[in-house]
Copies of this chain bind each other. A is one copy, B any other.
Amino acid sequence: MASIAQIEHFVSVEDLSNEQVLLLLKRAFAFKQGIKWQPPKKQIFTANLFFENSTRTHNSFYIAERKLGMDVLEFDAQTSSLQKGETLYDTALTLSALGVDIMVIRSGVERYWKELIQSSTIKCHVINGGDGSGQHPSQCLLDLMTIQEEFGEFAGLKVAIVGDLVHSRVARSNMQMLKRFGAKLFFSGPAEWYDQEFDAYGEYLPLDELVGKIDILIMLRVQHERHDGSQSFSKADYHRLYGLTKKRAERLKKHAIIMHPAPVNRDVEIADALVESAKSRIVEQMINGVYARMAILEAVISE
Binding site for B on A (CB under 8 A): 43, 45, 47, 50, 53-56, 58-60, 62-63, 66-67, 71, 73-76, 78-86, 90-91, 93-95, 97-100, 121, 224-225, 262-266, 276, 283-284, 286-287, 289-290
* B residues less than 8 Å from A80 (CB atoms): 53-55, 58
Minimum CB–CB distance from A60 to chain B (whole Å) comes to 6
Minimum CB–CB distance from A57 to chain B (whole Å) comes to 9
* B residues less than 8 Å from A43 (CB atoms): 66-67
A55 touches which of B54, B67, B74, B91 (Cβ 8 Å): B91
Smallest Cβ-Cβ distance to A72: which chain B residue: B66
Structural contact, B55 and A94, CB atoms closer than 8 A: yes
Subset of 10 A-B contacts with CB under 8 Å:
A63-B71, A63-B73, A63-B98, A67-B99, A76-B76, A90-B264, A90-B266, A93-B276, A98-B289, A98-B290
Tell me the number of copies of this protein: 3
A84 touches which of B47, B263, B286 (Cβ 8 Å): B263
In whole angstroms, what is the CA distance A75 to B55 when docked? 8
In whole angstroms, what is the CA distance A79 to B97 when docked? 26
In whole angstroms, what is the CA distance A263 to B81 when docked? 7
**Secondary structure of the A side of the interface?**
helix
* B residues less than 8 Å from A100 (CB atoms): 63
Structural contact, A53 and B79, CB atoms closer than 8 A: yes
Most chain B beta carbons < 10 A, residue from A50, A75, A97, A286: A97
Most chain B beta carbons < 10 A, residue from A54, A55, A225, A263: A55
Given contacts A66-B43, A263-B86, A265-B85, contact A283 B55 (CB under 8 A): no
Structural contact, A85 and B224, CB atoms closer than 8 A: yes
Given contacts A55-B82, A66-B71, A276-B121, contact A263 B90 (CB under 8 A): yes
